C-alpha cells in the first residue's frame, strides 16, 4: 500500500502565483522518500497542504488508503510534520510542549516515550528550561521530537537539518533510519543532497510546481546518472576534429590534461575496454585513469538546470 497518494494537486495562491501544478506522487509505505527541488519549487507548499496549514486549490490526497481532505482527524493522528520554520511556545518547557503535543493528538500521557525522545534528540538536559533559552539547533530538535511524540506512521520532515551541526545531523539520521526500519514511512525535503542519496530509497524532484521525476533512488542513479571514463595525461591535449569524429560515440570532453569519455548515459551503455582502447590509439597511454559516476547532486542540477 502507499502511505501517500497525491493526485493532481494544484495550488494557486491569492496573488495568482502557481505554486503546484497538477502534482501526482506516490509514497510507498515503509519508504524513506526524498522530495527535492530548488528553492521555490513548491516543496513546502505541498508539505503544508499535507499538514493542513495551506488549502489545496484542487486535487486529492489519500493517506494509508483514507481521503486526507475528508478524514482529516484520522489522517492527522497518523502523521507527524516537522515544519520548516522554527516555532515554539514561549510559555512552556520542552517537556511540557511534548506532553501537550501528545495530548492534542488524542493520546494518553506516555512519560517513558517523552523521556526517550528527549534523550535521543539530546534535549534531556534542557527539558525543564523555558524554550526561549534554547539554541536554534535545540529548537529544531524539539520540533522533531514534537512530530514524533504521537508515534506517527508517516513522518514528514521539511528541512530538518538546516542549522544543525554535522555530528548531531548524523545522530538525527541514525534515529530516523531506526524508525524507518521499524516500519515508519519518512518523507523528507533537504538541501543536503548527499544526505538524501545516502538515506533515501526513493526520490522525487519537483521544479516550478511540477514533478520532473519520481522513482527509486537506485533507478535514478542507475538510469539517469551517467558515468564517464576520465583519462589524465602528462601534457595538455590537442583535440583535433579527427579525434572528435573517432571518439564521437563517447561524447568526449577535453579539459586541459584530461579526456573524459561517457560510458553510460540515458540507458545507453558503452564498453569500458572499447573506450580505453580508442583513447589509447589517439593519445597513447594515460598517466591516470578514473571512472567518474554522476551523483544525485549532478543529476539534480542537470534535471532542474538550477542552483540547489
Partner 1 sequence: MSHFNIIGTWTLFQRESRRFLRVKMQTIVAPALTAILYLIVFRYAMGDRQVPSLDVDYFSFLIPGLMMMTMLQNAFANTSSSMVVGKIMNVHVFLLMSPISAGEAIFAFLAAAVLRALVVGSILLLVLLPFSELALTHVWMILFYGICGSLIMASLGLIGGMWSKTFDDMAMVNNFIIMPLTFLSGVFYSVTQLPPFWQAVNAWNPFFHLIDGFRHGFIGTGDSDPLQSMGAVAALTVVAVLSSWYLWRIGWKLKE
**Cα 9 off chain centre by:** 20
Q: Can residue 52 be called a binding residue for partner 1 (CB under 8 A)?
A: yes
The number of beta carbons lying within 10 Å of the beta carbon of residue 215 is: 15
The whole-angstrom separation of Cα 147 and Cα 136 is: 17
What residues numbered 12-51 form the site for partner 1, per CB under 8 A?
Answer: 13-14, 51
**Cβ nearer to partner 1, comparing 16 with 245:** 16
Q: Can residue 73 be called a binding residue for partner 1 (CB under 8 A)?
A: yes
Q: Can residue 106 be called a binding residue for partner 1 (CB under 8 A)?
A: yes
**Cβ nearer to partner 1, comparing 38 with 83:** 83
Binding span for partner 1 by CB under 8 A among 73-81, 248-256, 274-282, 285-293: 73-81
Closest by CA to 169, choosing from 145, 141, 203, 188, is: 141
Name beta bridge partners: 214: 204
Q: Can residue 186 be called a binding residue for partner 1 (CB under 8 A)?
A: no
Among 77, 129, 210, 292, binds partner 1 (CB under 8 A): 77
Among 61, 81, 157, 275, binds partner 1 (CB under 8 A): 81
Among 18, 26, 29, 54, binds partner 1 (CB under 8 A): 54
The whole-angstrom separation of Cα 14 and Cα 143 is: 29
**Cβ nearer to partner 1, comparing 104 with 280:** 104
Among 65, 104, 194, 256, binds partner 1 (CB under 8 A): 104
Check: CB of residue 228 under 8 Å from CB of residue 292: yes
**Cβ nearer to partner 1, comparing 92 with 192:** 92
Cell numbers standing for residue 23: 502534482
> In the bound complex, what is the minimum distance in angstroms from residue 127's beta carbon to partner 1?
17
Q: Can residue 142 be called a binding residue for partner 1 (CB under 8 A)?
A: no
Among 58, 66, 91, 289, binds partner 1 (CB under 8 A): 91
Check: CB of residue 79 under 8 Å from CB of residue 39: no
> In the bound complex, what is the minimum distance in angstroms from residue 190's beta carbon to partner 1?
20
Q: Can residue 85 be called a binding residue for partner 1 (CB under 8 A)?
A: yes
**Cβ nearer to partner 1, comparing 28 with 137:** 137
Among 107, 232, 251, 265, binds partner 1 (CB under 8 A): 107
Binding span for partner 1 by CB under 8 A among 80-88, 217-225, 242-250, 296-304: 80-88
User: Which residues 6+ apart lie within 8 Å of 245 measured at CB?
Assistant: none
Q: Can residue 58 be called a binding residue for partner 1 (CB under 8 A)?
A: no
CB hemisphere CA count around 189 (13 angstroms): 24
Alpha-carbon torsion, ordered 71, 204, 147, 140, to 10 deg: -150
The whole-angstrom separation of Cα 140 and Cα 34 is: 19
Residue with cell 489545496: 56
Q: Can residue 108 be called a binding residue for partner 1 (CB under 8 A)?
A: yes
The whole-angstrom separation of Cα 269 and Cα 262 is: 9
Q: Can residue 200 be called a binding residue for partner 1 (CB under 8 A)?
A: no
Beta strands in 48-101 (DSSP E): 58-63, 66-67, 79-82
Closest by CA to 78, choosing from 156, 161, 190, 180, is: 156
218 backbone dihedrals φ, ψ, rounded to 5°:
-60, -40
Q: Can residue 90 be called a binding residue for partner 1 (CB under 8 A)?
A: yes
**Cβ nearer to partner 1, comparing 163 with 236:** 163
Q: Which residues of the shown chain bind partner 1 in the complex (CB under 8 A)?
A: 13-14, 51-55, 72-74, 76-77, 81, 83, 85-92, 100-108, 146
Amino acid at each position: 500500500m502507499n502511505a501517500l497518494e497525491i493526485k493532481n494537486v494544484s495550488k494557486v495562491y491569492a496573488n495568482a502565483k502557481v505554486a503546484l501544478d497538477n502534482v501526482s506522487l506516490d509514497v510507498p509505505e515503509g519508504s524513506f522518500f526524498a522530495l527535492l527541488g530548488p528553492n521555490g519549487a513548491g516543496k513546502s507548499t505541498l508539505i503544508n497542504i499535507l499538514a493542513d496549514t495551506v488549502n489545496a486549490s484542487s486535487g486529492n490526497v489519500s493517506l494509508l488508503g483514507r481521503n486526507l481532505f475528508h478524514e482529516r482527524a484520522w489522517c492527522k493522528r497518523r502523521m507527524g510534520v516537522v515544519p520548516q520554520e522554527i516555532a515554539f511556545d514561549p510559555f512552556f518547557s520542552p517537556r511540557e510542549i511534548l506532553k501537550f503535543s501528545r495530548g492534542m493528538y488524542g493520546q494518553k500521557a506516555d512519560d517513558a516515550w517523552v523521556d526517550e525522545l528527549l534523550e535521543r534528540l539530546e534535549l534531556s538536559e534542557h527539558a525543564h528550561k523555558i524554550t526561549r533559552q534554547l539554541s536554534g539547533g535545540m529548537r529544531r530538535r524539539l520540533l522533531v521530537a514534537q512530530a514524533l511524540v504521537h508515534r506517527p506512521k508517516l513522518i514528514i520532515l521539511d528541512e530538518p537539518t538546516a542549522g544543525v551541526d554535522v555530528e548531531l545531523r548524523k545522530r538525527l539520521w541514525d534515529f530516523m533510519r531506526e524508525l524507518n526500519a521499524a516500519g515508519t514511512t519518512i518523507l523528507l525535503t533537504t538541501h543536503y543532497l548527499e544526505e538524501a542519496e545516502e538515506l533515501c530509497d526513493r526520490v522525487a524532484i519537483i521544479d516550478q510546481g511540477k514533478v520532473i521525476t519520481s522513482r527509486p533512488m537506485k533507478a535514478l542513479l542507475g538510469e539517469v546518472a551517467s558515468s564517464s571514463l576520465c583519462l589524465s595525461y602528462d601534457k595538455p591535449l590537442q583535440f583535433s576534429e579527427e579525434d572528435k569524429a573517432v571518439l564521437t560515440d563517447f561524447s568526449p570532453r577535453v579539459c586541459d590534461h584530461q579526456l573524459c569519455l561517457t560510458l553510460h548515459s540515458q540507458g545507453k551503455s558503452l564498453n569500458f575496454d572499447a573506450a580505453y582502447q580508442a583513447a589509447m590509439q589517439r593519445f597513447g597511454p594515460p598517466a591516470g585513469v578514473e571512472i567518474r559516476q554522476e551523483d544525485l547532486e549532478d543529476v539534480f542540477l542537470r534535471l532542474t538546470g538550477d542552483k540547489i
